[in-house]
A and B are shown apart, each in its own frame.
Chain A
Amino acid sequence: MSTATSVPVVVRDLTKSFGETRALSAISFEVAAGELFGFIGPDGAGKTTLFRILTTLIVPDGGSATVLGRDVVRDLWAIRARVGYMPGRFSLYPDLSVEENLRFFAAVFGTTIEAGRAIIEPIWRQIAPFATRRAGALSGGMKQKLALCCALVHRPEILFLDEPTTGVDAVSRREFWDLLGELRASGLTIVVSTPYMDEADRCDRVALIHGGRILGIAPPATLGSDYDQALVAVRGEDRFALLRTLREHPEAASVYPFGAELHFTSRRPARDAAAVAPQLASWLHERGQRGVTVAPVAPGIEDVFMARMGDAVEAR
C-alpha cells in the first residue's frame, strides 16, 4: 500500500452541508503523484465545495482529507504555501496590469516572478505581449492564462483548478488543456474540475460527480466498459419525429439526442447491440421513418453519466 506522503490527495468519507443542502455526501478518492485528475459534473454537483476544502478555505463536517500528506483542517498553514489554486470566479485584480498581478501573487508567497520563471514560461510566453494591459481588459481565454500563471508562480507541488474553462470558447478551451498537458508532463500533480464532458479525454482519470456524490472513477477510455445495456446510434431525416418514435419502442431504456445522432439504449444486454441495430432499423422503417441508419456505438462519457445519474436517482 502507498504511504500517505506519496499520495498527494487522500479523501475519505468527506461530507459537507450548507443548511439543508448536502453539498458533499461521504465522498472518497485518491489522486496519485503526477496525475491529471478531473472532476466532471454540472453546476451544483459539489465541485467547488470539494476544492475549497482541499485548499483549506472551508472546513468539512465529517470525514477526512489530506493534501501532500497533511490534514486539511489541522495543518492548513503547511498546505497553503505548497498548493496552487485557481478559483472558478476570476479573482485577479482587474485594475492592476497583467505583470502587476503576477508580481503581487509572487510577493504574497514571498517569492519573485524571476524565481518562478521556469514553470510559468510556456504560459507567460502567450500573455507577455499584454504585460502592461489591465487584467480586467483581457479576453476570457487570456484571463484564464494569467490566473494560471498567478497560481503557479510560487512553484506549488500540486495545482487545483476549479472550472478553468467555463464560459471559455471551444478554441481557447483546447489551448488551455494543451497547457495543462505540458504542466503534467513536467511532473506536476493537477486536480481540475469542469462541467464539459468532452474534456474528460484530457485527464488521466476522471471522477463523475453529481448531487454531492461520486458516480464513478476511471480512466476516460474505460469509463464505458461496464455500460451493460445495448447502445446504438440512430440517424434519420426528421430527428425530432425519430426521437418521439424511438421513445415508444418497447425495449427503450432511454433515447437522447447526441449531436447529429440519437443514442438509443435498449433494455437488452450490451452484447446484443449488433442484433438490436438491424431490428430497430426495420422497426423504424415500418413506422414511416425515412433515411434511417442504425449502428452499435461505444458509450461515451455522457452516456455513462446519464445512465449513472438515473441509477443514483432510483437508488434514493
Chain B
Amino acid sequence: MSEPAIVADRLTRRFGSFTAVDAISFAVARGEVFGFLGANGAGKTTAIRMLTGLLAPSGGSARVAGHDVASDAEAVRRSIGYMSQRFSLYEDLTVRENIELYGGIYGLSDAEIRERGGALLESLGLTPWARTLVGAIPLGRKQKLAFSVALLHRPAIVFLDEPTGGVDPITRRQFWETIYATAAGGTTVFVTTHYMDEAEYCDRISIMVDGRVAALGTPAALKAEHDADSVDEVFVRLARGQ
C-alpha cells in the first residue's frame, strides 16, 4: 500500500529525431514536496505533460497515484490537481463561478461543490469576494484561490507549474507556507520554479539537463556533493555543463 506517489522508470519522449526526455527515473514519496528544476528547453514541460496524462511516453513508464500514465491516463488525471500561475482561473468569471466550474470538471456533486466551496471561501477569507470577478481580486488572493481550486477534489498529488512567478516577496513566502501545510496533510506536491531560493524549501529536488535528470537529492546533499553554497550555484554549474 505504500507505493510512492510518483514513480518514473526510464520515462522517455521523442519528437522525431529529438529526444526531449531521455529515460528519466525517480520516485516521489507521499506527502513529499518535490522540486522539479531545469533550464528552459531541458525537458521539464514534456516530462510534466507525461506525468499528468496529457502526453503519451515514447518509452519507459510512469505510475502516478498508482495509475499508469500510458494505459490509464484518465485515472491519472482524476487523481491529480494542476495549477499554473497564469492559466488556472477564468478572469471574467466570479470567484464562486470559478469554484463551481472546476468542481464540475473534477466531477464533484452540487452538494459537494456547495459544501467544499463555502468552506474554501471561508478559509481563504474570500467570502466577501464571492461575487467579484477573479480578474479584479489581488494577485496574492488569486494565487491562493487557484491553489485551493486545484485541491477541491482532494487529489493525492498536486502539480504546481511556476506558481509564484511575478508575485511580491511576502506573498511568495505565504504561498510556500500553504504548500508546507498541504504537504503536512499528506498531499504530495510536485513543483517547478525559477526562484532558486524556493528550491531550498523543497524536501528533495531534481535538476534536468538536456532531457536527463542530472541531479537528484535533498538541497543540502546536492550542495555538499557539488561543494556549493546555494542551489543556484549547483543549478548554474549543471546547466552550463561545468
Write the residues of chain A forming the contact surface with B, with a CB cutoff of 8 angstroms: 41-45, 139-141, 166-172, 174, 195-198, 210, 239-240, 243, 256-260, 302, 305-306, 309-310
Contacts and interface: CB of A to CB of B under 8 A. Distances in A.
A14 B139 CA distance: 24
Given A41-B168, A43-B167, A309-B168, A169 B176 contact: no
Interface in B207-242: 219-220, 230-232, 235-236, 239-240
B28 to A, nearest CB: 19
B194 A170 contact: yes
Contacts of B195: 196
Interface in B153-185: 162, 165-171, 173, 176-177, 180, 184
20 contacts: A42-B168, A44-B139, A139-B40, A140-B40, A141-B40, A169-B39, A169-B239, A170-B39, A172-B39, A172-B40, A174-B236, A198-B197, A240-B184, A257-B176, A257-B201, A259-B230, A260-B200, A305-B168, A309-B169, A309-B170
A72 B167 CA distance: 30
A262 to B, nearest CB: 10
B239 A170 contact: yes
Contacts of B167: 42-43, 195
Nearest to A21: B136
A310 B239 CA distance: 37
A167 B165 contact: yes
B41 interface: yes
Nearest to B42: A169
A302 B41 CA distance: 29
Contacts of B230: 259-260
Contacts of A174: 236
B169 A171 contact: no
B194 A167 contact: yes
Given A167-B165, A170-B196, A259-B200, A306 B170 contact: yes
Contacts of A309: 168-170
Q: Which secondary structure characterizes the binding site on chain B?
A: helix
A305 B169 CA distance: 8
- Counting from the closest, the 6 A-B pairs by CB-CB distance are A43-B166, A42-B168, A259-B197, A259-B200, A169-B39, A171-B239
Nearest to A44: B139
Nearest to B169: A302
Contacts of B41: 139-140
A170 B236 contact: yes
B176 A171 contact: no
B170 A171 contact: no
B38 A169 contact: yes
Given A172-B40, A210-B168, A259-B196, 8 more contacts: A140-B41, A171-B39, A174-B236, A196-B195, A198-B232, A259-B197, A259-B201, A306-B169
A239 B240 CA distance: 31
A257 B169 CA distance: 10
A295 to B, nearest CB: 15
B166 A195 contact: yes
A167 B162 CA distance: 9
Contacts of A141: 40
